[in-house]
Structure 1
Amino acid sequence: MDLSNRKKMYLWAYAFISAPILGFLLFAFIPICFSVYVSFTKYSGYQAPEMTGADNYVRLLAEDPLFWKTLRNTVYSALAIPFGMALSLAIAVSLNQKIKAIRFFRTAFFLPTISSVVAMTLLWKWIFNAEYGLLNNFLGWFGIVGPAWLSSEDWAMPAMIIQGVWGGLGFSMVMYLAALQGVPRSLYEAAEIDGANLWQRFLRITIPSISPTTLYLLITSIIGVMQDFPRFQIMTEGGPNYSTTTIVYYLFQNAFRYMEMGYASAMAWMLGLLLMVITLINFRLSRRWVHYE
């Protein structure tokens, strides 16, 4: 290949990759760099940024108790992760068997994943309604007076956790189902010959074999919970009394309701740092329980 043809190939290659690179620079890299600068300023979005040094970070960590409350709320909402993963694994194991209408059940469990988040959230808002909601009506059949799910400080976050577990079942179930189908059948046959019962085969073969998938779901679920926003905005708007205000929703309020873009940017970077630390810890600990063989 002569030099002119090689240059033409390079030019075509650069032309094809220019669009995603330009999109990344304009809509990701430049805004990220700008947010770093803004986090050290007082900025409303309408006026020029006013440099304030580390005041936003000092206020965030030492002077804003609501930030710590929203962080606790976010950690509380993360209780949906272990429940959701355990339930997804149980469903995946069940749907990995040879049963009738298996495709229907797999589709039914996966359907919420591809449905509109807004539509599903509005549906659950009706289910949790204290007066005419489906859940309290169902409890009433057994003589149980249901709580005011979304208007009670004690029950609002458990309601969000229940809805979060349901909403994440489909994706986790499909991931676990794919992992289960990749476990060699010969391992189960050898363990059965050695006298291992069903529970022992599950603990000694299934769990270690699907551990990379478990790690992936754990990390992505933590990131998803820390960034969870539309469900809380639609169902509770952070109430009552900030009991369901997560850190991302609080960030949104500061940025677009109170127009404190600098403070919101500082909060975003603290959230990013927290996610990075949690992810690194998970990768570090995964050496003890994740098996890639």
Structure 2
Amino acid sequence: MQVTSSGDKLTKNKSRLARRQRWTAYSFIAPNFLGFFIFTLIPVVFSFVLAFMSWDSFSTPKFVGLGNFQKMIHDTTFWISFKNTFLYTIGVVPATLVISLGLAILLNKKLKGVKFFRTAFFFPYVTSLVAIAVVWNMLFHPTMGPINQFLRHFITNPPGWATSSQWALTAIIIVSIWRFMGYYMILYLAGLQSVPQELYEAAEMDGAGKWKQFTNVTLPSLRPTTFFVTIMLVINCFKVFDLVQVMTDGGPGRATNVLVYDIYEEAFVKFNFGYASAIALVLFVIVLGITIIQFMWNQKRV
């Protein structure tokens, strides 16, 4: 009986210790879950509900059903924002993919000073966005900017860049590519360094040149990295806001008015929170649809 009692006591102590360890673990992760619940989950759910409401933050929300979406169909500003976002994505994604991959290949060599160049190309991604916008607006200045001063040696009337409705979106695209390429270069560098060297040696023994090695070894091996980079680029392009806000403020006119900027204006300038939430819901569906298509396409390729 004494042995049994000692065994029961030991079991109870182990059980008490296990409970204490579980509660200690829960106490460490609770702040993260609580923050996610309060600052992310509740606002997202509220935004989804608000998409079917009319609310200006001062009066009581009024249920309007699909009224916000019907308004969206006839809203010229929404379609301009959608077109600008689409053009911005088409301009940024392919160019960033090609340039970041090219930089990664160039800097994936044991050269003197290669660490400096890797840091230099990555630096724009962590630089203050306000500083980036101010410097590039100076570079793009129609009369005193060094870019146009250089272009005047070749053309009479260089672009107006951020001050021109025809060139403002192009200026945003150029700055975005310059800013993003260093970050995705790092991802491609990690992917390149994980490719087994034996594959290149085998291809070289089979008589494959540098281009054949690139198309038959490097690109297939980097397919997971390219898939991830493409998804992240598309998502970042569809949610672009800060660069547009600081550089052009959606202008000139509505030349750089993108979807997230349209959401910002509807919510915090016009106080149409219900309509802004409806646009945000449409943006969510678009990004989700594109991501699912990319997943399906990647699975077929793999």
Alpha-carbon distance in structure 2 between the residues aligned to 1:23 and 1:111: 30
Of residues 84, 87, 102 in structure 2, which corresponds to 1:76?
87
Of residues 240, 263, 280 in structure 2, which corresponds to 1:228?
240
Aligned: 1:7 with 2:19? yes
- Name the stretch that deviates more: 248-257 or 37-46: 37-46
Q: Per-residue deviation at 1:100?
A: 1.8
Q: Per-residue deviation at 1:29?
A: 1.0
Q: Residue 150 of structure 1 contacts residue 236 of structure 1 at CA under 8 Å; is this kept in 2?
A: yes
> What aligned pairs does 1:46-65 form with structure 2 within 5 A after superposition?
46-60=58-72, 62-65=73-76
Alpha-carbon distance in structure 2 between the residues aligned to 1:49 and 1:143: 56
Q: Per-residue deviation at 1:144?
A: 4.5
Alpha-carbon distance in structure 2 between the residues aligned to 1:239 and 1:178: 38
Alpha-carbon distance in structure 2 between the residues aligned to 1:213 and 1:228: 22
Q: Per-residue deviation at 1:145?
A: 3.2
Residue 235 of structure 2 aligns to which amino acid in structure 1?
A: I
* Alignment deviations for residues 149-193 of structure 1 (CA, whole Å, 9 cap, x no partner): 112221111111111110111101111111111111110011101
* Alignment deviations for residues 194-214 of structure 1 (CA, whole Å, 9 cap, x no partner): 000110000000000011010
Percent of aligned positions that are identical: 37
Residue 241 of structure 2 aligns to which amino acid in structure 1?
A: F
3-state SS, counterpart of residue 2 of structure 1: helix
Alpha-carbon distance in structure 1 between the residues aligned to 2:131 and 2:241: 15
3-state SS, counterpart of residue 250 of structure 2: coil
Q: Residue 43 of structure 1 contacts residue 49 of structure 1 at CA under 8 Å; is this kept in 2?
A: yes
Of residues 232, 244, 251 in structure 1, which corresponds to 2:256?
244
Larger Rg over CA atoms: 2
Q: Residue 45 of structure 1 contacts residue 259 of structure 1 at CA under 8 Å; is this kept in 2?
A: yes
Aligned twin of 1:33: 45
Gap change, CA 1:191 and 1:122, over 3 Å in 2: same
Of residues 273, 280, 296 in structure 2, which corresponds to 1:261?
273
Q: Per-residue deviation at 1:288?
A: 3.4
How many positions carry a matched residue from both structures? 289
3-state SS, counterpart of residue 35 of structure 2: helix
Aligned twin of 2:30: 18
Aligned twin of 1:210: 222
Aligned twin of 2:117: 105
Alpha-carbon distance in structure 1 between the residues aligned to 2:58 and 2:134: 34
Any stretches of 5+ residues in structure 2 without a counterpart? 1-12
Aligned twin of 1:90: 102
* Alignment deviations for residues 213-253 of structure 1 (CA, whole Å, 9 cap, x no partner): 10001000000000000111111111122111000001100
Q: Residue 180 of structure 1 contacts residue 210 of structure 1 at CA under 8 Å; is this kept in 2?
A: yes
- Name the stretch that deviates more: 211-220 or 5-14: 5-14
Residue 5 of structure 1 aligns to which amino acid in structure 2?
A: L
TM-score, with structure 2 as normaliser: 0.93
> What aligned pairs does 1:63-212 form with structure 2 within 5 A after superposition?
63-78=74-89, 79-142=91-154, 144-212=156-224
Residue 131 of structure 1 aligns to which amino acid in structure 2?
A: T
3-state SS, counterpart of residue 265 of structure 2: helix
Any stretches of 5+ residues in structure 1 without a counterpart? none
RMSD: 1.3
Alpha-carbon distance in structure 1 between the residues aligned to 2:195 and 2:156: 45
Alpha-carbon distance in structure 2 between the residues aligned to 1:222 and 1:63: 26
Q: Per-residue deviation at 1:143?
A: 5.2
3-state SS, counterpart of residue 253 of structure 2: coil
Alpha-carbon distance in structure 2 between the residues aligned to 1:27 and 1:113: 26
3-state SS, counterpart of residue 31 of structure 1: helix
Alpha-carbon distance in structure 1 between the residues aligned to 2:271 and 2:261: 14
Alpha-carbon distance in structure 1 between the residues aligned to 2:196 and 2:248: 46
Q: Residue 208 of structure 1 contacts residue 289 of structure 1 at CA under 8 Å; is this kept in 2?
A: no
Alpha-carbon distance in structure 2 between the residues aligned to 1:95 and 1:16: 41
Alpha-carbon distance in structure 1 between the residues aligned to 2:155 and 2:16: 84
Residue 87 of structure 2 aligns to which amino acid in structure 1?
A: Y
Alpha-carbon distance in structure 2 between the residues aligned to 1:217 and 1:69: 27
* Alignment deviations for residues 42-96 of structure 1 (CA, whole Å, 9 cap, x no partner): 1112222111111111111x22122111111001001111011101111110111
Residue 86 of structure 2 aligns to which amino acid in structure 1?
A: V
Aligned twin of 1:270: 282
Alpha-carbon distance in structure 1 between the residues aligned to 2:134 and 2:82: 25
